[in-house]
Structure 1
Amino acid sequence: MKIKRNTLLTLAAIVVFYGLLAIAQNFLNTYLLRILNLCAVYTIFAVTFNLIFGYTGQFSLGHAGFAAIGAYVGALLTLSPVQKQANFFLQPIVPFLANLQVPYLPTLIIAGFLAALIGSLIAWPALRLRGDYLAIATLGFSEIIRIFLVNLQPLTNGAMGLKGIPDYTNLYWSWGAAIVAIFVIKRLIDSSYGRAMKAIRDDEVAAEALGVDLFKHKIMAFAVSAFFIGVAGALFANLISTIDPKVFLFTLTYQIVGITVMGGMGSLTGSAVAACLYTIFLELLRPIESQFNIGALVIPGIPGMRMVIFSLLLLFVILFYRKGLFGQNEFSWDWLIDFLSGKTRKLKASQATLPKNGTEQEKKS
């Protein structure tokens, strides 16, 4: 009965959510729409990193490289032949891409599959390492991908990047992809594969002794994560309309790690909420990087101050909420209904009286 009720509530919530997206898409200005789209893109980044590290325990720093693959695939497949000719004026584009233009949905899928393929190939040797060594190896592979993007002039237009990318990304595409990513990853971690991944995270030796195929489950986590990172990269490229290799520096990966740690390792809900808070918070802090006045006092803008404040906020979370804002907790309809009906407060009140009653009974005995 509860399962049927929760399914109906989830479907109703999705319908209401898309109704709100339709209102936002039609009535909000371009600036606010871009912020909401970025919230969805960073949500995908965060939940995919959580799958690799939060649930499988593999500290990978290759997100920026996989996102770059998805972004360039998304750009090259959606650019018109005229725009490709305008971009590749120093050296002609490779012939098979010159007149190729693919619809947006197949482009997202192709971007995801190519990122998953390359992610799996990278994971094949890298996953033989553990801990900090794995992080260094994946970070190195990410930088190798970026260097290839700089030097493959006929394919990527080198350091000049790609301009005039069609702005196909809207709230329906971005948040639709985010919902699909959360749904797929949630179903995965609730399955036997997900339980095996959690066992690998907690103790690889014990998991292997129980018959868990470590390599297969690690590769699966990397492939699923890289697929959705590639999709997010394509969404990002078709949102900002201009990309170049500098967009995908390793600092992007560090931002994703910070968002995920802030939300809570092992919590998809925390990743989604932290991604939205991060995006909105940085935009609210944008004025401090330009000159502003407080009465007669002129405060010069300090470039990069937004990231300094975000770092301080992340440090505060680590000091006082070591498990992140949500820890390993997830939103559920059962919790919400119990909270609204007062059962949660009653349960906490009854638990608070248990030690006292126990002590009184011990004294009487």
Structure 2
Amino acid sequence: MMESKKTKNLFLNALLLVVVVGLLWWAPENLDGYKIQILNLIAIYSILGLSLNLIYGFTGMFSLGTAGFMCIGAYVSSLLILPEMQKDMIFILEPLNPILYGAHAPFVVAVLAGGVAAAIAGLIIGIPVLRLGGDYLGIATLGFAEIIRVVANNIPTITNGALGLKGIPAYANLWWNYGWMFFTLYVMYRLVNSNFGNALKAIRDDELAAKAMGINTFKYRVISFTVGSFFAGIGGALMASLLTTIDPKMFMVIMTYNVLMVVVAGGLGSLSGSVIGAVVVTVLLEWLRFVENPITLGSFEIPGVPGMRMVIFALSLIMIILYRPEGVMGNKELSWEGLFGLGKGGKDHE
């Protein structure tokens, strides 16, 4: 019976993968650039949501440092894929550091380098900061993200200062973004469903009890924070290549809040919830743009209100928090049994 169920799930997973590949093949020829951009953003926000969910949803560490790790990944990756001619055109106020001028790598290596750089930063900041807990940890990581942004704004020989980097090669297409998304999802799934993941959830639920059981809570928290930082750097690297231009203002605290909204809307402690949250948040943010433009109803014209999109979006999130605080999925996962079992529900991490 169990073997039959496993075979059925494997077949359905393979079928889903074929459908996704087919859609990725179909989309570029049949959808306009705006819709393609939304699909790309969904994939990147899924990666970022999964990275923060590992730290916050599965380990219980309230971190607000995502934007800082994205910034590191974005700049490292961009400097490695920018051609020398483009570097000459960008760095006009002060020349680029000679070591970085000749540095070049293929896109996949550059993205990995951005993730590794973010992970190293996460390890360095995590060792002293993760001894804090609760709101104190959130404040400390928020301060770290702001420090990274300010530093990026003031080292023109590396980051070009406030001018940022422009003309970044647009390698981050649907195939790359969704490939990285599925890779992230696979790694996270294997982590949270292993003994390592069980230790993280034990720390989240009751850290004192986890210590009493012999779990080295500090070590597990540092590893979780480092892995989450790695994938935040990956997301930042992909975002930079997708937008083809970055500057320090991109990585302000609002970026962290957007990722946090993805996690909260989808469900803390749910991998599939992070993907669903990325879809909801990205589509809602884009769809609501119409309220900022003039609307004509017959002979009446309602003027657009700048900023109204974020007001409505914030109110929508407040409604989610009030009436479904656990998010769309809670701590459950989508499963084939849940989809076709008529009320059996999804797989619960608990």
Q: Which TM-score tier does this pair reach, normalised by the shorter chain?
A: over 0.9
The corresponding residue for 1:350 is: none
State the Cα RMSD in Å: 1.4
Structure 1 residues 36-45 or 257-266, which shifts more? 257-266
Three-state SS of the structure 2 residue aligned to 1:285 is: helix
Equivalent residue runs for 1:95-114 within 5 Å: 95-114=98-117
Q: 1:281 deviation in Å?
A: 1.4
- The answer to whether structure 1 residue 86 and structure 2 residue 97 are counterparts is no
Q: 1:113 deviation in Å?
A: 0.7
Three-state SS of the structure 1 residue aligned to 2:332 is: coil
Q: 1:145 deviation in Å?
A: 0.3
The corresponding residue for 1:19 is: 22
In structure 1, what is the Cα distance between the partners aligned to 2:10 and 2:123?
Answer: 34
The corresponding residue for 2:337 is: 334
Equivalent residue runs for 1:2-17 within 5 Å: 2-17=5-20
In structure 2, what is the Cα distance between the partners aligned to 1:137 and 1:101?
Answer: 34
Q: Which amino acid in the other structure matches residue 186 of structure 2?
A: F
Contact between 2:81 and 2:104, CA under 8 Å: does it hold in 1?
Answer: yes
Aligned residues: 342
Three-state SS of the structure 1 residue aligned to 2:341 is: helix
Q: 1:110 deviation in Å?
A: 0.7
Post-superposition Cα deviations, 1:65-88, rounded to whole Å, max 9, x if no partner, equal: 001111111211111101001000
- The answer to whether structure 1 residue 145 and structure 2 residue 145 are counterparts is no
Q: Which amino acid in the other structure matches residue 116 of structure 1?
A: A
Q: 1:344 deviation in Å?
A: 4.2
Q: 1:22 deviation in Å?
A: 0.9
**Larger Cα-atom Rg:** 1
Structure 1 residues 50-59 or 289-298, which shifts more? 289-298
Instruction: Name the TM-score, length of structure 1 as normaliser.
Output: 0.91
- The answer to whether structure 1 residue 43 and structure 2 residue 15 are counterparts is no
The corresponding residue for 2:238 is: 235
Equivalent residue runs for 1:117-156 within 5 Å: 117-156=120-159
The alpha-carbon distance between structure 1 residues 296 and 337, as it changes in their structure 2 partners (threshold 3 A), is: closer
Post-superposition Cα deviations, 1:128-150, rounded to whole Å, max 9, x if no partner, equal: 10000000000000000001100
The corresponding residue for 1:33 is: 36
Post-superposition Cα deviations, 1:215-237, rounded to whole Å, max 9, x if no partner, equal: 11111111111111111111100
In structure 1, what is the Cα distance between the partners aligned to 2:131 and 2:217?
Answer: 10
Q: Where does structure 1 lack aligned partners over 5 or more consecutive residues?
A: 346-365
In structure 2, what is the Cα distance between the partners aligned to 1:304 and 1:260?
Answer: 23
Three-state SS of the structure 1 residue aligned to 2:120 is: helix
The corresponding residue for 2:198 is: 195
Q: 1:238 deviation in Å?
A: 0.4
Post-superposition Cα deviations, 1:29-85, rounded to whole Å, max 9, x if no partner, equal: 211111100000111111111111111000000000001111111211111101001
Q: 1:13 deviation in Å?
A: 1.4
Equivalent residue runs for 1:1-365 within 5 Å: 1=3, 2-339=5-342, 344=344
Q: Which amino acid in the other structure matches residue 111 of structure 2?
A: L
Contact between 2:82 and 2:169, CA under 8 Å: does it hold in 1?
Answer: yes
The corresponding residue for 1:356 is: none
Q: Where does structure 2 lack aligned partners over 5 or more consecutive residues?
A: 346-350
The corresponding residue for 1:362 is: none
Three-state SS of the structure 2 residue aligned to 1:58 is: coil
Q: 1:15 deviation in Å?
A: 2.0
In structure 1, what is the Cα distance between the partners aligned to 2:108 and 2:289?
Answer: 33
Structure 1 residues 122-131 or 95-104, which shifts more? 95-104
Three-state SS of the structure 2 residue aligned to 1:293 is: strand
Three-state SS of the structure 2 residue aligned to 1:322 is: coil
Q: 1:291 deviation in Å?
A: 2.7
Q: Which amino acid in the other structure matches residue 230 of structure 1?
A: G
In structure 2, what is the Cα distance between the partners aligned to 1:300 and 1:124?
Answer: 52
Percent identity for Structure 1 against Structure 2 = 47
Q: Which amino acid in the other structure matches residue 262 of structure 1?
A: A
Post-superposition Cα deviations, 1:300-344, rounded to whole Å, max 9, x if no partner, equal: 2222221111111111111111211111110112223323xxx74
In structure 1, what is the Cα distance between the partners aligned to 2:216 and 2:159?
Answer: 38
Contact between 2:261 and 2:281, CA under 8 Å: does it hold in 1?
Answer: no
The corresponding residue for 2:348 is: none
Contact between 2:73 and 2:233, CA under 8 Å: does it hold in 1?
Answer: yes
Structure 1 residues 317-326 or 206-215, which shifts more? 317-326
In structure 2, what is the Cα distance between the partners aligned to 1:250 and 1:126?
Answer: 19
Q: Which amino acid in the other structure matches residue 76 of structure 1?
A: L
